Amino acid sequence: MAAITFVSKLKEDSSLTIPREAVEELGLHPGDEVQVQAMTKNGVGQIEESEQGALQAKFERFFDDLDTLLFEKPNRFPNGDQAETAFTEIMDKKYHKLGFKP
């Protein structure tokens, strides 16, 4: 099955137009059936169940591994930059707030 991605605006009658370039590239003719998978252009939409399961498994592995991670902050930056020093102090506070040992 051939596939192509394009953007189309929804018309008042709820129809979509397939761009001429897509029709030509797919070799479509009047009466041909096409399968459509729609999502909003801004990426907001429902996640398919199969994708949801894969995503859930990734999160479970992440949280299982989280307990084994070591968080180490650098003692100091080699160039002694004041911005980096200030950043280190902020991270110290964050580590402490989250319960990590700096």
How do the domains of the chain map onto residue ranges? Answer: 70-98
Long-range contacts of residues 39-43, Cβ cutoff 8 Å, at least 24 apart: 41/7
**13 pLDDT above the threshold of 90:** yes
* Rounded-to-5 percentages of helix, strand, coil across the chain: 40, 0, 60
Q: What is the pLDDT of residues 24-59, one digit of tens each?
A: 989 999 999 988 887 776 655 555 666 777 888 888
Q: Distance (Å, rounded) from C-alpha 22 to C-alpha 41?
A: 18
Looking at residue 29, its pLDDT comes to: 92
Share of the chain above pLDDT 90, in %: 12
pTM assigned to the model = 0.38
Element (H, E) at 53: helix 49-66
Q: Residue 5's CB: how many other CB atoms inside 10 A?
A: 6
